[in-house]
Chains A and B, each alone.
Chain A
Amino acid sequence: MSEYWRLFKNLSRSVTTAEGLAMDDTLPRSVAQNNSPPILHLYTFIPSVIVGKYQDIETALKLDRCRARGIEYNRRSTGGGTVIMGPEIVALGLGINVDYPGLKKGVGGVFASLSSVLLRALRKLGIPAYFQPKNDLEVSGKKIAGLSAAAEEGKSLLFHTSLLVGFDVELMTDIMNTPLVKLHDKGYNCFSQRMTTVREELNQDVSVGQVLELIREAFEEEFNIEFKEDTPDAWEDGVIRRYVEERYNRQEWIFSHKHPRARMGVGQLKTKGGLLEVYLSLSGASIENVLITGDFFSTSQDLHRIENALKWTSARKESIEENLTSVWRQDMIYGLDVLTLTKAILTAKENQVRL
């Protein structure tokens, strides 16, 4: 007989950031303290933007533009960077015990297990997505979903995903403060090279409800379980209410100053392969994001692979060289080598300024 998991599915309306995030935080607590089986929460947010737990919200977002456009902003309890959410973007929260049978162990294992569920759902739609270690799902070098997680009470963990069914690029460029936006302002069409959506891949109007149903099926097949649609019990309702009041509606949480210093730098280098331009976002001593552009020859897939190898890694010279070498193939960027690219990145690092 199959085991039952609980499914909190909310399709009747999009929820506020406080409601959605408070319910997600309750999932691992309920697994740890309320004797609940794993709980999957599938839903959509109202138009909003959510930063990672340890991001500097004031440098990640143009808050005046968010307010002017009525876009809610908040901070989630899992890691990673900024995500735009809204009625066309699937939000997924999962509370599960790390020792659950079939869930691979360790940080990499958790991401590998849960990404394979989402890949299965995308394959059912006919989208040949794949896991791009450590935290993204991609189709032909373009990101379609982002994953993040946090170890919570006892042995429980909270896993978060945002999956793009549709996406408003104009909104992103107006409210976010990333190197990608800076490039967009200079006329580079960098979003279509680095991001995609379910609708764009299929060239047809797929509903969010249809995608949610496929995710549900994929979980059932992957873990050999069945879902029971459910709503929070009285204990869980109390926890959700407390998270809304004491965390997600509080300015101290949203504007938390527990974060590394955010800086950005640009480095230019004339090379044999052409002009190389590197946009670097630094979070403390780590690279949060890097964009490589210029008039050299390469493919967007290769560039994204290189950029991805450096995201959330140390900005030390040896570490940059090591991470580039781990993905490097000859002529990945025509006429360039690891040492030259490292030099351009270090130039961007030297030119860093506070955002």
Chain B
Amino acid sequence: MAEIKGYNMPDELYYHEEHSWARVEGTKVTVGMTDMFQKEAGDIVFIDLPEEEDEVEQGEVCGKIQSRKWIGKLVAPVSGEIVEINEDLEDDTTFINSDPYGEGWILVIEAEEEDGLASELGNLIHGDAVEDFIEREVKRAEEEREKG
């Protein structure tokens, strides 16, 4: 479990720069939103999701996430078929805030085959690069704050 600049960013996960995360088990990829996203966005009040059996491409916007008056994007970190949606979020979307990597998981994508998945995972942020990613995001926000 890695904490970077006050944000929890588990080591084993892969991250898309639009703040979705991917947990890989074989060809099944569980997807959610990062701790940094949920802290920035505030309490999530609605999530607009695709249907099970929909096909998504890596980088495609496959859902919208509303917090208060902001609507953010859920970007598919990998390509494949959506095989499961977290139905508990229908009752309480704030699981995305209270437990972003646990009960707040959003959907599961089944990749077509392992080689293709492995190549797509190479496009995501993982390992040592995660620290750079978060530091970059925090620094950008700080720079703008100083200018403002």
Q: Which residues of A contact B (CB under 8 A)?
A: 52-54, 77-80, 102-113, 116, 134-135, 146-151, 258-260, 283-286, 288, 311-314, 316, 319
Contacts and interface: CB of A to CB of B under 8 A. Distances in A.
Interface string B25-55: 0000000000000001111011010000000
A284 B144 contact: no
Contacts of A78: 69, 71
Nearest to A105: B141
Given A148-B70, A149-B71, A312-B67, A102 B147 contact: yes
A313 B42 contact: yes
B93 A112 contact: no
Contacts, number: 109
A319 B94 contact: yes
A102 B145 CA distance: 9
Given A54-B48, A78-B71, 18 more contacts: A102-B147, A103-B144, A104-B145, A107-B40, A109-B145, A134-B42, A134-B68, A146-B69, A151-B71, A258-B46, A258-B48, A284-B46, A284-B92, A284-B93, A285-B94, A311-B68, A312-B42, A313-B43
B88 to A, nearest CB: 11
B69 A54 contact: no
A109 B144 contact: yes
A102 to B, nearest CB: 7
A320 to B, nearest CB: 11
Nearest to B91: A285
A298 to B, nearest CB: 24
Nearest to A102: B147
A285 B144 contact: no
B66 interface: yes
A285 B69 contact: no
A102 B90 CA distance: 37
A286 B94 contact: yes
A214 to B, nearest CB: 21
B73 to A, nearest CB: 5
B73 A106 contact: no
29 contacts: A53-B64, A54-B66, A54-B71, A79-B68, A79-B71, A80-B68, A80-B69, A102-B144, A102-B148, A103-B144, A104-B144, A104-B145, A104-B148, A106-B40, A106-B141, A107-B41, A109-B144, A134-B68, A147-B69, A149-B69, A151-B71, A259-B46, A260-B93, A284-B93, A285-B92, A311-B68, A314-B43, A314-B97, A316-B94
Interface in B65-100: 66-73, 90-94, 97
